[in-house]
């Protein structure tokens, strides 16, 4: 070979692709299960490997193929030797017994028929004939159906290995015929260690903050992380810094993002727009800016929930220090509102025009979202007012005759403050409603006959508790029915009621309940000896209803009083 011929460059993702199960990072459960099944010769006829891009699905499929067909693998190990003809040919992708197919480019039923026709032939050089189908979810419905029978009962020399990023798109009939393994996103710690190890082997100088940015952009994908690392080496081989990664990815500087969010929290519109313009002029994309704002808001929320995060050494020192200071100044409810506005704005930006101007208006929207006091400020103000009135007005005076014991002291409460008097009056007029029947009866007592009729005859109770009720009012045409009864009941009881609707039919109307109760009473009454005697004496007579005699007595007395008053006149 000519010495002047340059060796072809191999990207890091290919150069450092795992050649043994032990080199797979972050997939310990998968490795242990495969190791046990291979050593104990309990090998499934079909495997389904799922997970996000770049976590090792295709690599694992090739390692399984190498291990099953390795000519020199010890019986007590699952690791392929990597040196026999079979391992070398599989690694070089020219083994005729290991067929790898990309389902993204060969989706039709005819492509699957080629596999089915090939299944009946035994392997030429290896123990197993293995079909690796990548992105299997791209196969058509007819292709999946054609594969079903072969996949269920393949010959003993055939193994299928499927890989996919969209397992939900695969028919359940295919999934049920496979042994499924879910490959997880790689943890940041493992990915950082992996990149540092490669940096040492490649003799690349890269600082911790730069690696942290690559890990964040990789989002748990080893291949994405190595591709970004490869690109960073090409940009700055001697020394890879944070600025290198920020410039390469078009990221907004996190320091400026924290400053922008801090200015928004402070309500400083002028400074916020100035920082936003600075970030944009530096080359950051508008969508990227708001994506970073969302991530920082999420980071602040995590610090708020779990303060120990600020001590995580894998997070850059700048973000930890600034994040901890900002999290102390803002409440959890405010962070939730900011997240909602940012997320809604981010969705608008993805389909909008004039993105820079749109971004400015989103920042202004955040700042002027609510100019009144926060809930914490209101609570503090109310507490201060109560304390002030407590010290200002000694409103409770106790008067007691000298000859009375302490137990019989007559307490006279004199309320000097008009606001307090109104509050006490409201409390004294409040009505406690402890059941749905009492709730409905209140409408009768307050002479809301139509609403009472609807509530009694047509409304089914789903759940009830003081101040909150869920009903099924589907049979009522009025769309404002729930709002109307909530308004009345809140007015009468002196507290806010929440009336919600549900399509559940688990409850009954009060009319139905009373009807069932009366039928039970009639059945009980039929068993009374005297009633039985009357019913037997008069055939065809039935008990229609039962009325409390006290109610008729009251009506009789009332009628007599009316007649007496008429006679006197």
- Of 414, 429, 444, the last residue of a domain is 429
Residue 409 included in any domain: yes
Residue 184 to residue 27: CA distance in whole angstroms: 7
Residue 23 to residue 59: CA distance in whole angstroms: 11
Are residues 534 and 390 both part of a single domain?
A: no
Task: Note whether 236 and 198 are within 8 A (CB).
Answer: no
Are residues 30 and 111 both part of a single domain?
A: yes
- Measured over the CA atoms of residue 543, residue 547, residue 552 and residue 553, the dihedral's sign is positive
Name the strands in the sheet holding 460-465, side by side, starting at the edge strand that comes first in the sequence: 460-465, 468-472, 498-501
Q: Which two tokens stand for residue 320?
A: 């930890």
The residues that bridge with 205 in the sheet, in sequence order, are 239
Instruction: Choose among 380, 258, 389: nearest CA to 320.
Output: 258
- Cα separations (Å) of 166 from 99, 143, 405, 489? 22, 17, 82, 52
Which residues, 6+ apart, have CB-to-CB distance to 444 below 8 Å? 452
Q: Which two tokens stand for residue 447?
A: 């002479």
Phi-psi category of 409—alpha, beta or left, where left has phi over 0 and alpha has psi -120 to 50? beta
Are residues 266 and 313 both part of a single domain?
A: yes
Residue 356 included in any domain: yes
pLDDT for 158: 92
Residue 2 included in any domain: no
- Of 249, 270, 293, the last residue of a domain is 249
Are residues 41 and 143 both part of a single domain?
A: yes
Task: Note whether 49 and 60 are within 8 A (CB).
Answer: yes
Residue 375 included in any domain: no
CATH classification at residue 244: 1.10.8.60
Are residues 74 and 48 both part of a single domain?
A: yes
pLDDT for 417: 42
Residue 456 to residue 23: CA distance in whole angstroms: 71
- Measured over the CA atoms of residue 310, residue 315, residue 317 and residue 321, the dihedral's sign is negative
H helix count then E strand count, the chain: 25, 12
Are residues 518 and 556 both part of a single domain?
A: yes
Q: What is the DSSP letter of 98?
A: E
CATH classification at residue 111: 3.40.50.300
Are residues 413 and 363 both part of a single domain?
A: no
Residue 534 included in any domain: yes
User: 137 is in which domain, residue-wise?
Assistant: 12-182
**Cα 3 to the center of its chain, rounded Å:** 59
Residue 561 included in any domain: yes
Strands 460-465 and 468-472: antiparallel
Q: What phi and psi values does residue 387 have, to the nearest 5 degrees?
A: -65, -40
DSSP calls for 222-250 = HHHHHHHHHHHHHH-SSEE-HHHHHHHHT
**Cα 16 to the center of its chain, rounded Å:** 36
Residue 443 included in any domain: yes
Are residues 65 and 103 both part of a single domain?
A: yes
Q: Is 119 buried (19+), middle (13-18) or exposed (0-12) by CB count in 10 A? A: middle
Q: What is the DSSP letter of 406?
A: G
- What total of structural domains would you count in the chain? 5
Residue 32 included in any domain: yes
Task: Note whether 337 and 375 are within 8 A (CB).
Answer: no
Which residues, 6+ apart, have CB-to-CB distance to 331 below 8 Å? 374, 375, 376
Are residues 35 and 124 both part of a single domain?
A: yes
Are residues 446 and 549 both part of a single domain?
A: yes
pLDDT in tens for each of the 569 residues of the chain? 454 555 677 888 888 888 888 888 888 888 899 889 988 888 899 999 999 888 989 999 999 999 999 888 888 888 888 888 888 998 888 888 998 988 888 888 888 888 888 888 888 888 899 999 999 999 989 999 999 988 988 898 999 999 999 999 999 999 999 999 999 888 888 898 899 999 888 888 888 888 888 888 888 889 999 998 988 888 876 788 888 887 787 666 778 888 899 899 888 889 999 999 988 888 788 888 898 899 899 989 988 888 887 777 667 777 788 888 888 888 888 888 889 999 999 999 988 888 899 999 999 988 887 554 555 565 666 666 666 666 655 444 444 444 443 433 333 333 334 444 344 334 445 678 888 888 888 888 888 888 888 888 888 888 888 888 888 888 888 888 888 888 888 888 878 888 888 877 777 888 888 888 888 877 777 777 777 777 777 777 777 767 665 554 455 554 555 455 444 44
- Of 182, 212, 233, the last residue of a domain is 182
The answer to whether the predicted template modeling score (pTM) of the entire model surpasses 0.75 is no
pLDDT for 388: 66
CATH classification at residue 343: 1.20.272.10
Are residues 524 and 419 both part of a single domain?
A: no
Are residues 534 and 441 both part of a single domain?
A: yes
């Amino acid at each position: 070979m000519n010495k002047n011929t340059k060796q072809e460059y191999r990207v890091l993702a290919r150069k450092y692709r795992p050649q043994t199960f032990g080199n797979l990072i972050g997939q310990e459960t998968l490795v242990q299960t495969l190791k046990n099944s291979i050593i104990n010769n309990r090998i499934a006829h079909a495997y389904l490997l799922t997970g996000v891009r770049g976590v090792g699905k295709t690599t694992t499929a090739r390692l399984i193929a190498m291990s099953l067909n390795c000519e020199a693998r010890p019986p007590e190990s699952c690791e392929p030797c990597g040196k026999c003809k079979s391992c070398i040919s599989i690694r070089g992708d020219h083994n005729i017994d290991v067929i790898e197919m990309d389902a993204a480019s060969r989706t039709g039923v005819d492509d699957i028929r080629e596999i089915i026709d090939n299944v009946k032939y035994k392997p030429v050089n290896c123990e197993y004939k293995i079909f690796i189908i990548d992105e299997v979810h791209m196969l058509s419905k007819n292709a999946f159906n054609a594969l079903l029978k072969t996949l269920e009962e393949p010959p003993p020399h055939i193994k299928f290995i499927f890989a996919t990023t969209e397992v939900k798109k695969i028919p359940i009939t295919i999934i049920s015929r496979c042994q499924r393994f879910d490959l997880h996103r790689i943890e940041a710690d493992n990915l950082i260690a992996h990149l540092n190890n490669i940096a040492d082997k490649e003799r690349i100088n890269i600082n911790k903050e730069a690696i942290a940015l690559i890990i964040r952009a990789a989002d748990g994908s080893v291949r994405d992380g190595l591709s970004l690392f490869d690109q960073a080496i090409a940009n700055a081989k001697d020394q890879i810094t944070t600025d290198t990664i920020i410039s390469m990815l078009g990221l907004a500087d996190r320091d400026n993002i924290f400053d922008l969010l801090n200015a928004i929290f402070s309500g400083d519109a002028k400074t916020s727009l100035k920082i936003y313009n600075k970030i944009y002029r530096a080359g950051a994309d508008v969508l990227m800016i708001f994506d970073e704002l969302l991530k920082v808001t999420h980071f602040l929320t995590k610090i708020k929930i779990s303060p120990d995060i600020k001590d995580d050494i894998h997070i850059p020192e700048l973000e930890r220090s600034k994040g901890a200071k900002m999290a102390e100044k803002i409440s959890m409810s405010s962070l939730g509102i900011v997240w909602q506005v940012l997320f809604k704005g981010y969705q608008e930006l993805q389909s909008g025009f004039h993105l820079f101007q749109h971004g400015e208006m989103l920042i202004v929207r955040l700042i002027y979202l609510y100019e009144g006091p926060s809930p914490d400020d209101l609570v503090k103000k109310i507490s201060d007012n109560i304390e002030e009135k407590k010290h200002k007005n000694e409103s409770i005076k106790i008067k007691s005759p000298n000859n009375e014991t302490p137990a019989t002291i007559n307490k006279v409460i004199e309320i000097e403050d008009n606001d307090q008097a109104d509050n006490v009056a409201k409390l004294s007029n409040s009505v406690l409603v402890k059941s749905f029947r009492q709730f409905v009866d209140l409408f009768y007592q307050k002479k809301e006959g139509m609403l009472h009729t609807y509530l009694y005859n047509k409304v089914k109770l789903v759940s009830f508790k003081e101040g909150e009720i869920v009903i099924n009012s589907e049979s009522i045409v009025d769309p404002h029915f729930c709002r109307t009864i909530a308004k009345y009941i809140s007015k009468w009881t002196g507290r806010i009621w929440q009336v919600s609707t549900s399509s559940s039919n688990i409850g009954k109307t009060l009319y139905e309940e009373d009807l069932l109760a009366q039928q039970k009473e009639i059945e009980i009454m039929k068993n009374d000896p005297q009633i039985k005697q009357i019913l037997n004496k008069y055939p065809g007579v039935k008990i229609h209803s039962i009325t409390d005699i006290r109610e008729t007595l009251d009506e009789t007395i009332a009628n007599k009083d009316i007649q007496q008053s008429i006679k006197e006149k």
